[in-house]
Structure 1
Amino acid sequence: MAKLSKRLTAAHQKIEDGKQYTVKEAIALFKETATAKFDESMEVHIRLGVDPRHADQQVRSTVVLPHGTGKTKRVLVLAMGEKVKEAEEAGADFVGGEELVGKISGGWLDFDAVIATPDMMKSVGRLGKVLGPRGLMPSAKTGSVTFDIASAIKEIKAGRVEFRVDKFAIVHNAIGKKSFSNEQLFDNAKTLIQAVLKARPASVKGTYVKSLNLSSSMGPGIKIDVASAQKEVAGE
């Protein structure tokens, strides 16, 4: 096992072994343990009691974080006709049709979010193997396949994030930066957790949220008590 650096060792020592914290306590600890020389992101990891192998137990949706993520997203829009001008006027960073599909197929990936109009999906479908594994494939379910281009761009720029379970049934999302206030980080965490709870598939039986952890980009995980977290985000 690799030896921990002095920085990580010091961060681990701030966390009580075996203790589960409230969301607000975990955020305060995140601030103490995020000691890298850059503005670290705060990440939330939620392990769910679902089986991602079953289509009716997939958890995937979007939510607009009230304070954004602290990262400026580069938005690419795949459209044609009058929708190209609409996308440009709405602030899209890259706009195009077949020429951009070809560019992406060739390996170009200098963007953070993709929106496509429904009439482009036949072409966009060819990009599944490129965009899918990176979580960038447009989907009607997440609002990224739409003719309402302006609204979609506005939401992404304002802090809309997509969440989805991975093959291990865990949702991972960065929801802010160390430079955010504790209150801003709590608002964002509350919004994400509420959205994940709301997205519970009807077919799931038993415990839905198995565990909840918070960490910095380069720091140790901080365990959160699930029951207390659900009360916190509900305002109890």
Structure 2
Amino acid sequence: MPKRGKKYQESFKTIDRMHLYDPNEAFNLVLTTAKAKFDETVEVHVKLGVDSRHADQQVRGAIVLPHGTGKTRRVLVFAKGDKAKEAEVAGADYVGAEDLVQKIQNENWFEFDVVVATPDMMGLVGRLGRVLGPKGLMPNPKSGTVTFEVERAINEIKAGKVEYRLDKTNIIHVPIGKVSFGVDKLTDNFQTLLEAIIKAKPAAAKGQYLRSVVVASTMGPGVKINPVRVVG
């Protein structure tokens, strides 16, 4: 384990590693242990009792957080004609088709955070699967990023829409705001995300669904939340 700094060590001592906290208690601890000089991001890490290797146990979706994420996300839209104009008017940061595919392929260009595509563009976007996929940037109907409702998709992303999906270790990692949000806004965003994850429980999932729930700031130690209190 890498050696941690003095501030981290001090923060670590204030947290009972064996205790499962209520969400409100947990976020109070996250804020008091956030010692960095910048406005740290607060992330949620949820380990689920599913097996992501099976198609019928995938958990994926998107949710608009009530208070946003505190970060302005750069949106790239693959569209043509009227839908391209719609994307520009709605405030997309980049709009294009073959030109953007070539820019990504030839220049290794990734100055964007979310990719939206109209369904008729997915044949073209599919060429980028090998580079967009590993970065979690590939448009997907389940997350609302493959759609003809371009304006709505952009508005939701700019308002604080986040995508949640399992990694290979069956854990979901999602940013839910900044330390400056305070306990109430972070708790609201957290509850909204967890409700969405619980609703997305696959029928094939057996046993305890929420295995562990941990919240932490960018530079701070993790705080465990009692899954029972979340469900309740």
> Counterpart amino acid of 1:164?
R
**Pairing 1:159-174 to 2, within 5 Å after superposition:** 159-174=160-175
* Cα shift readout 1:132-165 (whole Å, capped 9, x = no counterpart): 1111100111110111100000000001000000
Contact 2:76 2:112 in 1 (8 A): yes
> Counterpart amino acid of 1:157?
K
Q: Distance in 2 between matches of 1:72 and 1:160?
A: 11
Residue 168 of structure 1: SS of its match in structure 2?
coil
Residue 45 of structure 1: SS of its match in structure 2?
strand
- Aligned-residue RMSD, C-alpha: 0.8
2:186 corresponds in structure 1 to: 185
Q: Distance in 2 between matches of 1:17 and 1:200?
A: 27
* Cα shift readout 1:101-135 (whole Å, capped 9, x = no counterpart): 11112210000000001111001001111111111
**Pairing 1:45-124 to 2, within 5 Å after superposition:** 45-106=45-106, 107-124=108-125
Contact 2:214 2:224 in 1 (8 A): yes
Residue 181 of structure 2: SS of its match in structure 1?
coil
1:44 corresponds in structure 2 to: 44
> Counterpart amino acid of 2:49?
G
Deviation at 1:4, TM superposition (A): 2.2
* Cα shift readout 1:1-43 (whole Å, capped 9, x = no counterpart): 4332111111101102311101110000000111111100111
* Cα shift readout 1:171-205 (whole Å, capped 9, x = no counterpart): 00010000002111010000000000000001111
> Counterpart amino acid of 1:104?
I
> Counterpart amino acid of 1:6?
K
Q: Distance in 2 between matches of 1:145 and 1:2?
A: 41
Contact 2:86 2:150 in 1 (8 A): yes
**Pairing 1:149-228 to 2, within 5 Å after superposition:** 149-228=150-229
- Structure 1 stretches (4+) deviating beyond 2 angstroms? 1-4
Contact 2:17 2:223 in 1 (8 A): no
2:137 corresponds in structure 1 to: 136
> Counterpart amino acid of 1:187?
D
1:126 corresponds in structure 2 to: 127
Q: Distance in 1 between matches of 2:160 and 2:186?
A: 13
Q: Distance in 1 between matches of 2:160 and 2:85?
A: 23
Residue 179 of structure 1: SS of its match in structure 2?
helix
Q: What fraction of aligned residue pairs are identical, expressed as a percent?
A: 56
Correspondence 1:4 to 2:4: yes
Q: Distance in 2 between matches of 1:121 and 1:16?
A: 48
Q: Distance in 2 between matches of 1:2 and 1:46?
A: 23
Normalising by structure 1, report the TM-score: 0.96
> Counterpart amino acid of 2:158?
K
Which segments of 5 or more consecutive residues in structure 2 lack a partner in the other structure? none
> Counterpart amino acid of 1:127?
L
1:234 corresponds in structure 2 to: none
* Number of residue pairs the alignment of both structures matches: 231
